[in-house]
Structure 1
């Protein structure tokens, strides 16, 4: 269960708070009264959720690089977080082909620097390292991957996320071993989520943001891999999982210091073509898409996650269907185009999700 009272006045540090998922997480934490500190580079796109929804207005915002260990240590020393969500990353597959060194240095050594800052701090009780569903060795079998399956990656981005998982596991075993939790008091877990969609994402080379841009410009969307299958889910779904996981890391400690999948139900893993047909129908205005036949770097064609562990142990469950997730995404961007108060719109969507989960017994 997500317990708002647990988060009231709780000191939380979020790396990557200027990004899409980090911004939504900070807004949610703020609604529950947490004392939030963010650490990240400036927003990578214009426009961006961080500025449009005034994410930084009710939190301490540090604009710095996770590859700078001195800055990180200073942030930890000054703000003394009890809980750390590590989301800062180079989060795109295609840019990783162009900038593999930056991708590895950010996703691997950035994780090392964050965990080293935790190790040198006092009072950090829980760390959730957010990696990716791409961290698995994807054999294109169509099977839903479980946390015990092999890590890997056929491209620099996916490989870097597998490496980040190994870094977190090594720090957990070496410095924060669950067997000795009573002594050190820190529990580290990793979270692997499906393809998050929602309002406020303007990343390049990502399906929904590319579609919104094309629809707004009244241009047909060019699609690289229409037959690809991905575990689509609204961004609030995995964030709910991260919050529930952090609560259990603090309250139960060692027994939840592990890797966790947060993915949609099987029916929410359609092809790109099926998702776009639904999105086109919701957006209207004569929007359309077509296949881009130019050659592109390799991307996995099938990817599914098995979230049964989180469902059984955390009592987490995906609550919004893919149709609901798409409707919320379209509603957010339509509201933005109308010039509405996007901080209020975002909080309303968080409240709507919380009501849905409350009625279903998850929160």
Structure 2
């Protein structure tokens, strides 16, 4: 379990804090007593978890700006004087990367360069940053569509601009760590590769669960375009818990943990798109239905993707807490609470406490 005392009064700089994962992470950090400094564009969707849970009011400071603005990013990092930096800002959608590859590379590659440059500037100013985590993706691997799971030392690649840009971000992490941060007093840099995250409060475009829930709420049949595709589905709190575990190790163990890490479900938790959608419909109840359709644009998306997370389990003591059934229960519970106009800060913190094994009140 997490050492919550470790996080009390820790200064944590989070890029992309207005996104789905960033908002959940910010809530979790604030709940544990950390001082969170956010840097991101305004929330990417309306509604958004960030606004529904009034995340801004819970943070120490927020800066609304683009990760591609180096001067603004450097100023924000230097002003925050963080202990830990977690870089989550990204263009995260595969199909959008086909439409606008330049923006995808500028955000995901140059944005990573800017993050590391801002860290370098802050160190030069005498600020002490203990750990930096660059959040990439499970799609950074050169996916051969094979059935076994990818390990951290497998070849990087990516056919689409999004996946490829994240592989580039991984290579940048390695280069900056070796060129500028190796041996730096007290600073450890790692990258993290998570599976497909799902959870309450995700309204992103062109993502499976948000599309499903939007259709259900409208009373429409869910349309799925790649029913046989397999992904490492996991609740959003699973990889976030892994990042928090890793950050603790980076601060206390230094460069011993300064490398790449996978965070995904147990290998027995292998489900296709159609299986996940079928389970969601059953759990939602009522008239929730789905049907398959062929994609109109025929853009390439990988059929099979699995992660080997044995390293994180063995060396970090991290392991998944919820299976796919429990994960979908949490998604339905959160969404139906939102539909009923309940207090979503309370509902979100309740799920965080449940994930941590704490009793909800």
Q: Cα offset for 1:267? A: 2.7
Q: Which residue of 1 aligns with 2:339?
A: 337
Contact 1:137 1:152 in 2 (8 A): yes
User: Equivalent of 1:300, from 299, 302, 311?
Assistant: 302
Q: Taking structure 1 as reference, are residues 55 and 265 closer, same or farther at Cα in structure 2, changes over 3 Å only?
A: same
Q: Which residue of 2 aligns with 1:141?
A: 146
User: Equivalent of 1:150, from 151, 155, 170?
Assistant: 155
Q: Which residue of 2 aligns with 1:274?
A: 275
Q: Cα offset for 1:82? A: 0.8
Q: Which residue of 2 aligns with 1:56?
A: 56
Q: Separation in 2 of the partners of 1:297 and 1:129?
A: 28
* Residue 171 of structure 1 pairs with residue 172 of structure 2: no
Moved over 4 A (4+): none
Contact 2:97 2:162 in 1 (8 A): yes
Q: Separation in 2 of the partners of 1:322 and 1:290?
A: 21
Q: For 2:164, what is the secondary structure of its paired residue? A: helix
Contact 1:233 1:268 in 2 (8 A): no
Q: Separation in 1 of the partners of 2:300 and 2:97?
A: 12
1:152-174: CA deviation from partner (whole Å, max 9, x where unpaired): 00100000010000011100010
- RMSD of aligned residue pairs (Cα, Å): 1.0
Q: Cα offset for 1:269? A: 2.3
Moved more, 38-47 or 291-300: 291-300
Q: Cα offset for 1:29? A: 0.2
Contact 2:226 2:294 in 1 (8 A): no
1:289-337: CA deviation from partner (whole Å, max 9, x where unpaired): 1111243310000000000000000000001011000000010000000
What are the within-5 Å matches in structure 2 for residues 29-178 of structure 1?
29-59=29-59, 60-121=61-122, 122-177=127-182
Q: Which residue of 2 aligns with 1:6?
A: 6
Contact 1:73 1:117 in 2 (8 A): yes
Moved more, 261-270 or 193-202: 261-270
Q: Which residue of 1 aligns with 2:227?
A: 226
Contact 1:191 1:261 in 2 (8 A): yes
User: Equivalent of 2:356, from 337, 354, 357?
Assistant: 354
1:79-106: CA deviation from partner (whole Å, max 9, x where unpaired): 1111000000000001000000000000
Give me the TM-score of the superposition, normalised by structure 2. 0.96
Contact 2:48 2:202 in 1 (8 A): yes
Instruction: Identify unmatched segments of 5+ residues in structure 1.
Output: 359-363
Q: Separation in 2 of the partners of 1:189 and 1:94?
A: 27
Q: Separation in 2 of the partners of 1:15 and 1:266?
A: 30
Q: Separation in 1 of the partners of 2:6 and 2:117?
A: 26
Q: Separation in 2 of the partners of 1:73 and 1:352?
A: 37
Give the count of matched residue pairs: 353
